[in-house]
Structure 1
Amino acid sequence: MLVLGLNGGGDTVFDAYFGLSENAYHDTAAVLIQDGNVIAGIEEERLIRIKHTNKIWVSAVRFCLEQANKKLEDIDYIAVYSNEDILNKVLKQQQLNNPALAEVADTHKLFNYLFYREFNYCLKDNQLVFVDHHTTHAATAYYMSGFRDSLVLTIDGLGDELATNVIDVRNKRFDSLLSKPAADSLGLLYWEVIRFLGYSHFDEYKVMGLSPYGCSEIYKEQFRRLYTLLPNGDYSLHRDRVIELFNVLNPRKKDAPFSQVHMDIAAALQEALETIVFHILRHFQQATGHTRLVISGGVGQNSSMNGKILCSGLFEDVFIPSFAGDSGCAYGAAAYVAHQVQPALPFARVAHAYWGTPIHDDEVGDALAAWRTFLHIEKMNNRSERVSDLMIDGAVIGWVQGRSEFGPRALGNRSILADPRVASHKETINAMIKMREGYRPFAPSILEERVRDFFEVPGERDDFPFMSFVLNVKPEWREQLPAITHVDGSARLQTVNKASNPRYWELIDAFGRKTGIPILLNTSFNNNAEPIVDSIDDAVVCFLTSGLDYLVVGDYLVRKKDWQPEDMAGLIVSLPKAAVLLREDRYISQSKRGFSYALVWNYDSARRHALSEVGYKILQAADGEQSVGQLMVMLGFSKAQQVQAWEELSGLWSDRLLVMRPDSKS
């Protein structure tokens, strides 16, 4: 039986018609499973190159079908992560703003319309199934864990009008024990507080990383006013009191430095979250007798909290997938439907999430050769030995192998790798490659069989493949591993299993044989403006526009040539489908009018880049067929205009506000 799980809105990337994106969905994804096993799964952002996209799942669905060599008519069920009645309510609310939606103001009509519009396909009777938001979160973690019986905690901002659920699952039967509404949303509380730190939605993990630099005691009482612990594992929040933080600080301006007060606020927020979650878990562990716990939902990606739960001894085992957020609900919806329809389906611990785009060894050479103007390309005879030597010599490597990882974390197939013993890597990678805050920590990848040699691991488990837990580095190793050891002596580790990822295991093993430390620094292969790279071209673009020393794809080692902006003349330039070019006639003073030019995202007005008239003209002319050089000739640019255009295009390319690719005809 084939089940396709979906998460995402109804709008295409270039329009905003239905408005579901803001009301119901984010982190669009699709996952295809057959008889309970994943065939393919990918987040839409990896394919359309827009972080956290909440648009329709068209590219992800096409990918899943292509990987399985199936058509939509072959799919038995299409599982959508949303409560049908609540989604109907959302559609009716949208119809008040846009009466033209009357024809699709019903969930079945909407999805029939979307599938017909995008695939020329009419859904079969009973093919479409809706699964409650928090049920899909619960199913994601439960079916990934392989636990027959477990306590399930789902925590996020909001989904289907609920924010927290505690569920007792026994032999695939889900019984809700506690549900909390939006008013008591821990995710929304976290978001409201972090705005004082200059952060917003999707930045929660940055504040978690900042919290070890602070002292939670300073503002403990201030944060105690934000919640009340109630009997029987219940709690209530007082989110209206967040505004009282103005008595402590004014909101930090973007790009302003962090002060100690910001760090102390982050620490107090983290402690408040953990206090509430432990209050819930202690009661329901005792009430149910469960010895196993699974956690999902966006707040479930707080790996510092997860590590403390694991080390507390409250449960014998704890499982959290790397995609605890909403993208994982595509898997959860599909798995839930599959096991409900086929109750006898077996399930076991899922060892990995390498479900995405494959890199085939026989296609790498030609794909890289298309970029030969910019690259030195060499095929290696012994990949692991050569690359480990480069890292020992201080190089930072972009590493692309096999199928990409599903979810928001790079787990060794689309990673930036480096020697964890080099303290300066932390600053170098943050500043020159990731282009992000300097305090942000990096994760270690370690051979699964060596994890207890370097980390304080509770219980009997040795497998932590999803980078979901922060554990302490053993004291005797902390000074020797400065690039992956956080300020409090901890690290968000990933264990690597030889059977699940033999190429990554072999590389770490080679590094370990030479250094005595079978650990690599691992962070996601992307810059701050884009999702994790997916294709070979994505990797090359990130490599060319960052400070990475080498790129490794399959058996190929790649170095940059000493290229200049004018070398981009042969590249084809086009606008991303989400980009909008603006030419605005406006007053530029009390008495003078003039034109201004800008490039903006059509559904994120905060992402706006001012353009010169030269930059505007070349992007307006860009048709995805002509090269930059051809466009400049056609527009009759002077030498000075060309120099200006090269500089502007380089910056836009680095910020992923335009697409540049080699001419396939050359």
Structure 2
Amino acid sequence: MLVLGLNGGIELPHEDLKVFGYGGIAHDSAAVLIKDGVVIAASEEERLNRVKHTGKAPLQTIHLCLKRLGITFADIDKVVITTREQETDLLVRDEFFYRDSMHRNTRELLVDFFYQIDGTKYDPNNIVFVDHHICHAASAHFMSGFDRSLTVTIDGESQEGYAGYIISAEGTSFKILDRIANENSLGSFYISVIRMLGYHQHDEYKVMGLAPYGDPSKFRRMLKKAYVLLPEGKFKINLAWSTVLFDFMTPRKKGGPITQEHKDLAASLQEALETIVMHILTHYQQATGHTKLSMAGGVAHNCSMNGKVLYAGLFDEVFVQPAAHDAGNALGGALYVSNKFEPNKSLEKLQHLYWGSEIEGNDGLAQILKRWERFVSFRKVDNIAEETAKRIAEGAVFGWVQGRAEFGPRALGNRSILADPRPAENKSIINEMVKKREGYRPFAPSILEEHVGDYYEMPQTKAPYSYMNFVLMTKEDKQPLLGAVTHVDGTARIQTVSKETNERYWELIEEFRKLTGVPILLNTSFNNNVEPIVDSEEDAIASFLTTNIHYLAIGDYMVDKKEVDKADYLHMVPTRLVNSELKKSIGYSADGTKRTLHEVRLHFGDKYKKAIPEEVFLMLEHSDGQKSLDELADELGGSALTKPEIAEHFIELWSLRLVHLRPSERVAALSAKL
């Protein structure tokens, strides 16, 4: 049986419409294909359309899933939508009345959408709608390998009106014990407070990393006024309370300096979240007698909280679904329907997350790299793990791209930036050369699973540590050794690496161990601060060239940068993104002077946009995917900008991922002949 799970909206890349998201905003689009209960392919749309947290239709991920088996929608037995039908129908009817849509319900809309993808007239009766939090629960319980578990989902909010479920799960049967209403949302509570720290939705993990620098006692009494713990594991949140903080602290503007006061609030907030979650878990563990816990929902990404759950010893085993956010609902929905229609199949325990795009073999990689030889040198090596480990031990920072991409928000050794975990200065070095992010945020260690107990304080509660889901204490005598991957409070968000599930990454760390005696590498996601984790070979090359990473190891190829100047970039071909637009607006300044603004922006809110000179605007307007920057500049003529200045503007737009730049194939072909 083939089941395709979908999460996100259905608007196309060039559209600003929002159809399926709660409050009109969709996010974390994804598609997951399951065959006979086994995951065949899975990816978030952001990896492919290159817009963080995109809520657009998961078009490219659908194509990825179908291509994996060489099938069409006609071969899919069930398509799963990760919310209830009545809620989506209300939104579709709003589209009918207010946006000139012809669709009267969700099934009509989806059948038309699928037809546009591959010409299949899909049977609307085979579209299945599954409650948002049931999808979260299914993703956790069915992937845990547990026969029975207390299954807890906690997030921001859902269209159905709930921000969490507490479930007693047994086999494929779910008994809902309680629901957390949107008005008592822990996710929304967390976001309401981090606004005081200059952060917003999707920045929660940053505040979690800031918390260890603060003193939770400073705001403890104040935060206790924001929630009430009630009997039987219940609680009540006053979401409006966070506005009171304006009178007791100095709110931080985005990008402003972080004071000790801000650190203290982060610590108090983290403590409050952990207090409420432990209140829930303690009651329901005692009430149900469950010895195993599985969790999902966006709040389950709080790995500091997850570590506290382990050390508390409430359960014998804990499983946190690694793609716990809404993208993971595509997985949960597909698993739920697969088990519903084939209940006698055994549940597959999660072994790994390498379900995404696969890079080319060595021959294909050679062709891709040759197109970029004006900018990079490359060579195939006999043992990529051995040579990479040697250079990392000597201080190099690597982009490491191998095999299939990971599903979920974390790089787990196939799309990673890697470095030596020992020198503490590597934290600031990588932040400056790649991430351009807050210096306080920690990096994660990838450690060979055979050695994890030698370096970290292991709780009695068992858990899979392969997915960076849990923060553990680094053993005191190891903390000075692991300066780059040990946080200020002596903790680390670890990832264990198994030879069985990722042999090449295991071999790399083993080679580093042979050289240094340390079976650990610093691992962070391969991206810069404006893009999702790289997916394709081209993504990796673009990120490599627009950051200060020293080397790229892709497949069996070692890649280095060449010395180039601005003139070399004039041979590049600019291409507008399909989800972008050029915008020209005419207005007035404060003194009444008429002014014209030119900008390029993506169709995903106002976060991704950049004001540009008129000359650059016109070049993008006339770009056809064939002409180089040099040719476009000559064609338009009369520019106030010099060609090096034009190249500089396009390099910046490329670094911001607002345009594509590719080597000119015509120039490359001519060079090859010469």
User: Shorter chain as normaliser: what TM range?
Assistant: over 0.9
1:105 and 2:104 equivalent?
yes
Q: How many residues align?
A: 664
- Separation (CA, whole Å) in 2 of partners of 1:93 and 1:631: 44
- Separation (CA, whole Å) in 1 of partners of 2:348 and 2:594: 67
Q: Which residue of 1 aligns with 2:300?
A: 300
1:478, 1:489 within 8 Å by CA — same for their partners in 2? yes
Deviates more, 1:69-78 or 1:112-121: 112-121
Counterpart secondary structure, 2:206: helix
1:614, 1:644 within 8 Å by CA — same for their partners in 2? no
- Separation (CA, whole Å) in 2 of partners of 1:138 and 1:91: 26
Q: Which residue of 1 aligns with 2:29?
A: 28
1:45, 1:53 within 8 Å by CA — same for their partners in 2? yes
Deviates more, 1:191-200 or 1:588-597: 588-597
Counterpart secondary structure, 1:158: coil
Task: Spell out, residue by residue over 1:453-493, the C-alpha distance to the aligned partner (whole angstroms, 9 max, x if none).
Answer: 10111127474111100001110000100100000000000
Root-mean-square deviation (CA), in Å?
1.4
Q: Which residue of 2 aligns with 1:528?
A: 529
Q: Which residue of 2 aligns with 1:279?
A: 279
- Separation (CA, whole Å) in 1 of partners of 2:26 and 2:597: 34
Deviates more, 1:619-628 or 1:235-244: 619-628
In structure 2, the gaps of 5 or more residues are 670-674
Q: Which residue of 2 aligns with 1:311?
A: 311
- Separation (CA, whole Å) in 2 of partners of 1:436 and 1:406: 23
Q: How does 1:558-569 map to 2 (within 5 A)?
A: 558-569=559-570
- Separation (CA, whole Å) in 1 of partners of 2:506 and 2:192: 41
Task: Spell out, residue by residue over 1:554-576, the C-alpha distance to the aligned partner (whole angstroms, 9 max, x if none).
Answer: 11111110112221122221111
Q: How does 1:3-22 map to 2 (within 5 A)?
A: 3-21=3-21
Q: Which residue of 1 aligns with 2:672?
A: none
2:25, 2:55 within 8 Å by CA — same for their partners in 1? no
Question: One-letter code of the match for 2:636?
Answer: L
Counterpart secondary structure, 2:142: helix
Q: CA deviation at 1:583?
A: 1.8
1:398, 1:548 within 8 Å by CA — same for their partners in 2? yes
2:552, 2:558 within 8 Å by CA — same for their partners in 1? yes
1:147, 1:348 within 8 Å by CA — same for their partners in 2? no
Task: Spell out, residue by residue over 1:534-570, the C-alpha distance to the aligned partner (whole angstroms, 9 max, x if none).
Answer: 0111000000000100000011111110112221122
2:42, 2:356 within 8 Å by CA — same for their partners in 1? yes
Deviates more, 1:245-254 or 1:277-286: 245-254
1:77 and 2:89 equivalent?
no
2:108, 2:124 within 8 Å by CA — same for their partners in 1? no
Question: One-letter code of the match for 2:399?
Answer: G
2:449, 2:496 within 8 Å by CA — same for their partners in 1? yes
1:538 and 2:539 equivalent?
yes
Q: Which residue of 2 aligns with 1:147?
A: 146
Task: Spell out, residue by residue over 1:391-421, the C-alpha distance to the aligned partner (whole angstroms, 9 max, x if none).
Answer: 0110000000000001110000000000000
Q: Which residue of 2 aligns with 1:570?
A: 571
Q: CA deviation at 1:95?
A: 4.3
1:512 and 2:507 equivalent?
no
Q: Which residue of 1 aligns with 2:258?
A: 258
Task: Spell out, residue by residue over 1:342-398, the C-alpha distance to the aligned partner (whole angstroms, 9 max, x if none).
Answer: 011112321100001111323211111111000011211121111111001100000
Q: CA deviation at 1:251?
A: 2.8
Q: CA deviation at 1:94?
A: 4.4
Task: Spell out, residue by residue over 1:426-453, the C-alpha distance to the aligned partner (whole angstroms, 9 max, x if none).
Answer: 0011122011111111000000111101
- Separation (CA, whole Å) in 2 of partners of 1:587 and 1:228: 51
- Separation (CA, whole Å) in 2 of partners of 1:381 and 1:635: 49
Q: How does 1:331-350 map to 2 (within 5 A)?
A: 331-350=331-350
Q: CA deviation at 1:82?
A: 0.8
Question: One-letter code of the match for 1:270?
Answer: Q
Q: How does 1:477-626 map to 2 (within 5 A)?
A: 477-626=478-627
- Separation (CA, whole Å) in 2 of partners of 1:195 and 1:201: 9
- Separation (CA, whole Å) in 2 of partners of 1:34 and 1:609: 43
Q: CA deviation at 1:27?
A: 0.6
Q: How does 1:71-470 map to 2 (within 5 A)?
A: 71-98=72-99, 100-101=100-101, 103-159=102-158, 160-362=160-362, 363-459=364-460, 461=462, 463-470=464-471
Task: Spell out, residue by residue over 1:192-230, the C-alpha distance to the aligned partner (whole angstroms, 9 max, x if none).
Answer: 111111111110000000000001000001100110111
Q: CA deviation at 1:245?
A: 0.5
Task: Spell out, residue by residue over 1:118-152, the C-alpha distance to the aligned partner (whole angstroms, 9 max, x if none).
Answer: 33222125211111100000011111111110001
Counterpart secondary structure, 2:218: coil
Q: Which residue of 2 aligns with 1:634?
A: 635
1:455, 1:472 within 8 Å by CA — same for their partners in 2? yes
Task: Spell out, residue by residue over 1:219-248, the C-alpha distance to the aligned partner (whole angstroms, 9 max, x if none).
Answer: 001100110111110111011111101012
- Separation (CA, whole Å) in 2 of partners of 1:162 and 1:555: 48
Question: One-letter code of the match for 1:634?
Answer: E
- Separation (CA, whole Å) in 1 of partners of 2:544 and 2:493: 25
1:601, 1:607 within 8 Å by CA — same for their partners in 2? yes
Deviates more, 1:323-332 or 1:375-384: 375-384
2:72, 2:118 within 8 Å by CA — same for their partners in 1? no
- Separation (CA, whole Å) in 2 of partners of 1:369 and 1:339: 47
Counterpart secondary structure, 1:126: helix
Q: CA deviation at 1:645?
A: 1.1
2:318, 2:462 within 8 Å by CA — same for their partners in 1? no
Q: CA deviation at 1:55?
A: 0.3
Query: TM-score, normalised to structure 2's length?
Result: 0.96
- Separation (CA, whole Å) in 1 of partners of 2:216 and 2:20: 38
1:413, 1:504 within 8 Å by CA — same for their partners in 2? yes
**In 2 relative to 1, CA 461–512 (structure 1 residues): closer, same or farther, beyond 3 Å?**
farther
1:597, 1:616 within 8 Å by CA — same for their partners in 2? yes
- Separation (CA, whole Å) in 1 of partners of 2:32 and 2:151: 22
Deviates more, 1:254-263 or 1:113-122: 113-122
2:319, 2:463 within 8 Å by CA — same for their partners in 1? no
- Separation (CA, whole Å) in 2 of partners of 1:295 and 1:398: 32
2:579, 2:602 within 8 Å by CA — same for their partners in 1? yes
Task: Spell out, residue by residue over 1:598-642, the C-alpha distance to the aligned partner (whole angstroms, 9 max, x if none).
Answer: 122223123331111222122222222222121111112558431
Task: Spell out, residue by residue over 1:483-542, the C-alpha distance to the aligned partner (whole angstroms, 9 max, x if none).
Answer: 000000000000001010000000001101111110000000000110100011100000
Q: CA deviation at 1:589?
A: 4.7
2:139, 2:329 within 8 Å by CA — same for their partners in 1? yes
- Separation (CA, whole Å) in 2 of partners of 1:637 and 1:38: 56
- Separation (CA, whole Å) in 1 of partners of 2:395 and 2:326: 37
- Separation (CA, whole Å) in 2 of partners of 1:637 and 1:385: 53
Question: One-letter code of the match for 1:332?
Answer: G
In structure 1, the gaps of 5 or more residues are none
- Separation (CA, whole Å) in 2 of partners of 1:251 and 1:505: 45
- Separation (CA, whole Å) in 2 of partners of 1:591 and 1:402: 58
Question: One-letter code of the match for 1:149?
Answer: R
Question: One-letter code of the match for 1:378?
Answer: R
- Separation (CA, whole Å) in 2 of partners of 1:171 and 1:591: 69
Question: One-letter code of the match for 1:658?
Answer: V
Counterpart secondary structure, 1:78: strand
Counterpart secondary structure, 1:267: helix
Q: Which residue of 2 aligns with 1:48?
A: 49
- Separation (CA, whole Å) in 2 of partners of 1:579 and 1:253: 28
Task: Spell out, residue by residue over 1:251-288, the C-alpha distance to the aligned partner (whole angstroms, 9 max, x if none).
Answer: 31122110001101101110111111000000000111
Task: Spell out, residue by residue over 1:87-123, the C-alpha distance to the aligned partner (whole angstroms, 9 max, x if none).
Answer: 222333444543x23x323121121121123332221
Task: Spell out, residue by residue over 1:159-217, the C-alpha distance to the aligned partner (whole angstroms, 9 max, x if none).
Answer: 12210110100121001111011100111111111111111111000000000000100
